[in-house]
A and B are shown apart, each in its own frame.
Chain A
Amino acid sequence: MSKSQATGCPECDGRLRTNSSETVCASCGLVVAADHIDHGPEWRSFADDDTNPERTGAPLTRSRHDRGLSTEIGRSSRIKGRKRRRLARMRRQHNRARISSKRERNQVYAFTEIRRLTGALSLPDRVRDHACSLLRSAQNENLLRGRSLEGFSSACVYAACRVAGVSRTVDEVLAVSRATENEHGAAYDALNRDLGLPVGPISPTEYVPRFASELDLASSVERRARELAAESHDSGLAAGRNPSGVAAACLYTAARELDVKLTQKEAADVAGVTPVTLRSTYYDLRD
């Protein structure tokens, strides 16, 4: 708003009156200032205002190489001919300029790969973001040299899952990954050694809900299996055993207890272990 409001009308020195949209001289009618700011209701929801102070733009994200701060040259059907061709050239140059180094290019590729993996495994966004920042730190530590990007992408996703307490088995990750088992292993070892991942042994409880829903078991079975898994974890029964085998055994035991039909083979197949592994844990659980 202009200063003239305090001084009076610039033409006749009359008194100024301001209503919601403009400042008018009360005596001569001169419009001194028109308010271009719309004081009307803002056309958006204020539901999340106290949690999210942002007003515009996409949020910053660690899962993009430029943290989501990229710009793009848009398209318009109104621009024709020479100008259109010029814009197309500019767009091409702009896209090329987005990636400045080999390092960044690798990052873009790995991040796309991580996105694909987390999408295929239906992992939440925070796991994806964590996987991406793991990759970023790995790159800063020069761990990627001589190891494959695909391996690192899948290892980062695997590690992020473990850290977040929603472990996936290596086989599950490898099933959707482009990496071979060796590449994945090498990358995960490097991550674990040099970044010191805060991971302990996997608790079989993390596997139980997923296996239960894959086997289409009732929630009562799942609940009992979870109890068994927690017990076995606490009592040290699970120590030194394959956690997915323990999870399968817990499900099998729970199903037996509740008289639900489930064969050892079915349970073992979902967990990717042999029925023999399952059986040995089952005997211990029963005792």
Chain B
Amino acid sequence: MNREDRRSISRQYFSDERLAEHHFRSFNAFLGRGMQEVVDEKETIDTDIGDKEGEEPVYVELGDVRVVTPRVREADGSEELLYPQEARLRNITYSAPVFMEMSIVRGGEEEEEVVVDSTETKVGRMPIMVGSERCNISGFDHDELVEIGEDPVDPGGYFIVNGSERVLMTSEDLAPNKILAEYDTKYGDEIQVAKTFSQRRGYRALVLCERGRDGLLEVSFPSVSGSVNFVTLVRALGLESDEEIVHRVSDDPEIVKFMLENLEEADVQTTEEAIETLGKRVASGQGKNYQLKRANYVIDRYLLPHLHEEGVEEEEVRINKAFYLCRMAEACFELALQRREADDKDHYANKRLKVSGDLMKDLFRTALNKLARDVKYQLERANMRNRNLTVNTVVRSDVLTERLEHPIATGNWVGGRSGVSQLVDRTDYMGVLSHLRRLRSPLSRSQPHFEARDLHATQWGRICPSETPEGPNCGLVKNFAQAMELSQNVEDEQALKRELASMGVEGMPGLEGVEPTTADD
């Protein structure tokens, strides 16, 4: 390519629209489908109405969610479109009303289910990113922008809350749902560990598979204190026979030897026994029935939640979990036999970036849960006082608004992270550009973390090798390279899988012609 062409490409990369492109794409995806996904996950709001004798149960069904463009409600009740500059000058929030379809349904016990009331109601206000597709200035040309008092070269990509401009810091997290094998030390011995951050619908669970000094495998996951024997857990998941377990881990003779050691030490032989043993661990001192119930619940809820998928049977999910654990075991053994090296946590293939849309999705999820709890309370209250149950009178719109605005205004995000939103650096124009393209590692800046701060070869073309602050944040705060392209996750995972299956990939769970093998990313 000749020099002129290169130059014009380079110029395109640094044009106004490209500078905060990653913010727009992410936030637009959140508005377009992320919000609806969160609402669909929630699906219904159940209430305690109907627990009493002779009372019909009541629940709320959540439907389509809709966001309009930012507008302001004046004290006299008139509503007008709001432009960013007005929001900045009047110290108000640049946010748009959110509407949701809700229907209150009563019945199901003795009477038939009846929809008591069904309307689309305003559930709150969503802060809107300046320049995103729901922003009032999107699509404006230079003159129109000047007309409404907006800076025509302003890149956008930030929110305006109470008049102050806040940018959401992109954060760099370890890739979820991926097996990472590494060495660790326990009581002075080197052991091999396979780790997975299993993530589904905002719930994140760390699953560890350790090969101890004695060569025995142990698994630990949330809600079980300490660790569980690998063979016990796999048997509890329905992988029963010795042969099958060994075969699922590996066919390598050395690994088979290791596996046989494990099987010899196993104290349970059948699935029932295994679940009983697990029950004793998760609910010790409780009744036997409860122990079994609890063990099943823990397996389905806390162990590797990312393997639950739409259209996959519970039975199949369990066996998939067993296969996945076997893969983790294999990774441990391979590491012990030096067949592979420990995974590099700083490799950029093992990183995922959380951009504004992902952060807003987390926020919206907790805000919606809070709203749901409030609706439940209001419904129960209204029912107790013998009022008519209508959608309009049980939704408090300030609950959601508050939960969305407050974290953006203060930077105290859900999950205890702080400093997620920052005041846009308006020292000069370059400051704004740099700030919008900054990313932050969640690692503590008070610890050395030398490797994490080092420049990694895989950052080539993605992260600027020189722009990083001096001092404690050195190497933890990074900036995007000029020609960086940020890819997004697929819109429809099911469609992707079907496509892959049509190209000859076999054994994906939830698709026809299933010959189950482990699902890996």
Residues of A within 8 A of B (CB): 109, 112, 115-116, 119-124, 127, 150, 164, 166, 168, 175-178, 206, 209-210, 212-213, 222
Q: Using Cβ atoms and an 8 Å threshold, which residues of chain B touch A115?
A: 396, 398
Q: Using Cβ atoms and an 8 Å threshold, which residues of chain A touch B74?
A: 209
The answer to whether B78 touches A119 (Cβ under 8 A) is no
The answer to whether B78 touches A175 (Cβ under 8 A) is no
Chain A residue, CB-CB nearest to B400: A119
Measured in the bound complex, the distance between the Cα atoms of B399 and A120 in whole Å is: 11
The answer to whether A209 touches B76 (Cβ under 8 A) is yes
Given contacts A109-B381, A120-B397, A178-B387, contact A213 B79 (CB under 8 A): yes
The answer to whether A178 touches B393 (Cβ under 8 A) is yes
The answer to whether B387 touches A213 (Cβ under 8 A) is no
- Interface size class for chain B? 20 to 34
The answer to whether A124 touches B75 (Cβ under 8 A) is yes
Measured in the bound complex, the distance between the Cα atoms of B161 and A15 in whole Å is: 54
Pick the contact of B392: A120, A164, A206, A210 (CB < 8 A).
A120
The answer to whether B76 touches A210 (Cβ under 8 A) is yes
**28 examples of A-B residue contacts, CB within 8 angstroms:** A109-B381, A112-B396, A115-B396, A116-B378, A119-B397, A119-B401, A120-B392, A120-B396, A120-B397, A122-B73, A122-B77, A150-B385, A166-B75, A166-B76, A166-B77, A168-B77, A178-B382, A178-B388, A206-B76, A209-B74, A209-B76, A209-B77, A210-B76, A210-B78, A212-B78, A213-B77, A213-B79, A222-B78
Q: Using Cβ atoms and an 8 Å threshold, which residues of chain A touch B512?
A: none
The answer to whether B398 touches A119 (Cβ under 8 A) is yes
Chain A residue, CB-CB nearest to B122: A120
Extra pairs beyond A120-B396, A150-B387, A209-B77 (17, CB < 8 Å): A115-B396, A115-B398, A116-B378, A119-B396, A119-B397, A119-B398, A120-B395, A121-B77, A123-B75, A164-B75, A168-B77, A176-B392, A177-B393, A178-B382, A210-B76, A212-B78, A213-B79
Give, as a whole number of angstroms, the nearest-CB distance from B102 to chain A. 14
> At the interface, is chain A mostly helix, strand, loop or mixed?
helix
The answer to whether A175 touches B80 (Cβ under 8 A) is no
Give, as a whole number of angstroms, the nearest-CB distance from A34 to chain B. 21
The answer to whether B396 touches A116 (Cβ under 8 A) is yes
Chain A residue, CB-CB nearest to B382: A178
Q: Using Cβ atoms and an 8 Å threshold, which residues of chain B touch A120?
A: 122, 392, 395-397
Measured in the bound complex, the distance between the Cα atoms of B122 and A213 in whole Å is: 17
Give, as a whole number of angstroms, the nearest-CB distance from B312 to chain A. 31
Which of A119, A177, A209, A212 has the largest number of chain B CB atoms within 10 A? A119
Which of A122, A127, A150 has the largest number of chain B CB atoms within 10 A? A122
Measured in the bound complex, the distance between the Cα atoms of B380 and A112 in whole Å is: 14
Chain A residue, CB-CB nearest to B80: A213
Please list the 7 inter-chain residue pairs (A to B) with the smallest Cβ-Cβ separation, ordered nearest first.
A210-B77, A122-B73, A209-B78, A213-B78, A119-B398, A116-B396, A209-B76
